[in-house]
Amino acid sequence: MSEIVKIFDTTLRDGEQSPGASMTIEEKLKIARNLEKLNVDIIEAGFPIASEGDFEAVKLIAQEIKGCEIAGLARANEADIERAYEAIKYSDMPRIHTFIATSPIHMEYKLRMKPENVIERAVHAVRYATKFTSNVEFSAEDATRSELDFLVKIFSAVIKAGAKVINVPDTVGYTVPEEYSKIISYLFEHVDGIENVTVSVHCHNDLGLAVANSIAAVKAGARQIETTINGIGERAGNAAMEEIVMIFKTRNDVYPFDTNINTEYIYPTSRLVSQITGFPVQPNKAIVGKNAFMHESGIHQDGVLKAKETYEIMKPETIGIKSDSIVLGKHSGRHAFKNKLYTLGYELNDEDFEKAFKAFKRIADKKKEVYDEDIDAIIAEYIYRIPEKYELKYININCGTFAKPSATILMRVGNEEVLKASFGDGPVDAAFKTIKEITGIDCKLVEYSVKSITGGTDALGEVTTRIEYKGKQVTGQGADTDIIVASAKAFVNALNKLAYRLENWVK
């Protein structure tokens, strides 16, 4: 039987550190529920001392999710550790994850501490954390650029102080598989008490090696991997969970390891994370990309028709891609819609289902055929939304070859309705200027993209906007058969997220 490697999912903590990926409390809870269905071993739910919002999200997740350990991140100091425990204590399996940097460059410039004081601080933090729970993980930040003998010293000391998991992060995505494997082997040979703890790895993807490095570390003895869904995370992201899990499944002959993951939830969870963060999954992304199981060339198609194994090394069903050939239209009823949602991996409660069904009917009245991608857009727009301070009630655009583009917009702002009009350099610019005037939020538009979700002139256009305000970035999405309306909706969606965060999060 294959040995189990634990999956520590940090989508809600390191994943959320991707610029623009910040999530609301409800969104985090939705992802946590999916992570529970996936059966990850540990959910790192956040960094409780970072903000009120982070604290609340971790607390709610600890209260609700009972199938996984819930970890809270804490720097190596008493205040962080107390705050982390305050949030995770509602879990049946709480874990305090404390860290301090160990590389010369971080100790000298960031911490301004001497190596011996870093060890003292780490030991004190771990000992302090064990007063709250025996489940304590210690991370040596920037481990791969640290001196090996220093790592040996600090890990030996924290194990003695009570750490049950020691994590060896490749914080800046600098290492390569051979080197990382040697580091892990060296630690196994030299760290006192290492045989009694779990060795964990946490890899960033700056050189595109996060997954390869994590797998190499497992071969060298690590038994916990820290991952995120779709590989999102700080800078180039973290090791993608779906890739790690499917490598063990597909190449068990080379890597005789397994995880506890229910793989059929991989695809739905990937879509959920993409919908919530507004980060599209690149089409050629391994495992969960739109093209990952598509065959374009004639030779490949011919082969797959004769025997799938000719060009498919995994079955799409294994990761939860359910295929059906039904295209919905305006005559489709509740049953067909529910079935379609199921095949797409969406499980909605009754209230959300009714909301989505109404939106589907509205779109089906305008379009002949409603494709799977249209349904994704409906779910993104009507279900994964946060409470809305702003609502777009009416938009009228005037533009053309001679007219100076202008927009007249009626919006609800709280309980009031506000009507304004402005000119712009183009119809989208005019709409955005008017919305900014109505809301009074002078944000910067840092990204704007339009994609046609399906083919044809009646296709739904999906717009993603990313805005920046006082150093915070949020993304918004909107879909409509009219792309100017979709743009206005996406902008309003981003402003709603921003308003929600400004009111609810004390960062």
| Residues at the site binding ligand KIV, with contacts judged by CB under 6 A | 14, 99, 139, 141, 167, 169, 171, 202, 204
Q: Considering the complex, state which of residue 142 and residue 462 has its C-beta at the smaller distance from ligand KIV.
A: 142
Quote the tokens at residue 263. Answer: 């793989």
The smaller minimum CB distance to Zn ion, of residues 14 and 376, is found at: 14
Q: Which residue is nearest to Zn ion (CB)?
A: 14
Residue 179: name the closest of 221, 220, 227 by CA: 220
Given ligand KIV, Zn ion, none, residue 135, with its beta carbon under 5 to 8 Å by kind, binds none
Q: CB-wise, 168 or 485, nearer to ligand KIV? A: 168
* String marking each residue 5-44 x if it binds Zn ion according to CB under 5 A: ---------x------------------------------
Burial of 195 (0-12, 13-18, 19+ CB in 10 A): exposed
- Select from ligand KIV, Zn ion, none the partner in contact with residue 406, using the beta carbon and a kind-dependent cut-off of 5 to 8 Å: none
CB of 63 to Zn ion, least distance (A): 26
C-beta of 14 vs 374, nearer to ligand KIV: 14
Closest CB 53 distance from ligand KIV, rounded Å: 19
Helix (H, G, I), strand (E, B) or coil at 338: helix
User: 109: which DSSP letter?
Assistant: I
Q: Total residues contacting Zn ion (rule CB under 5 A)?
A: 1
To the nearest whole angstrom, how small is the minimum distance from the Cβ of residue 194 to Zn ion? Answer: 22
Q: How far is the CB of 128 from ligand KIV (least distance, A)?
A: 18
Quick one: 15 or 405, whose CB is closer to ligand KIV? 15
Separation of alpha carbons 41 and 420, rounded Å: 52
Work out whether strand 94-101 and strand 69-75 pair parallel, antiparallel, or are unpaired.
parallel
Cβ–Cβ under 8 Å, residues 138 and 167: yes
Nearest to 71 by CA among 213, 167, 147: 167
> Which of Zn ion, ligand KIV, none does residue 138 bind (CB under 5 to 8 Å by kind)?
none
Separation of alpha carbons 113 and 104, rounded Å: 10
Distance, CA of 477 to CA of 280 (rounded, Å): 11
Contact 40, 261 (CB under 8 A): yes
**Cβ at position 166, least distance to ligand KIV in Å:** 11
Q: Which does 141 bind (CB under 5 to 8 A by kind): Zn ion, ligand KIV, none?
A: ligand KIV
Residues in CB range of 43: below 8 A, 6 or more apart: 9, 12, 32, 35, 36, 61, 65, 68, 69, 70, 71
* In the complex, least distance from residue 170 CB atom to ligand KIV, rounded to whole angstroms: 8
Q: How many C-beta atoms lie closer than 10 Å to residue 110's C-beta?
A: 12
Taking CB under 5 A as the rule, does residue 142 contact Zn ion? no
Least spacing, CB of residue 135 vs ligand KIV, in Å: 16
Residue 139 near which of ligand KIV, Zn ion, none (CB within 5-8 Å, type-dependent)? ligand KIV
Q: Which residues bind Zn ion (CB under 5 A)?
A: 14
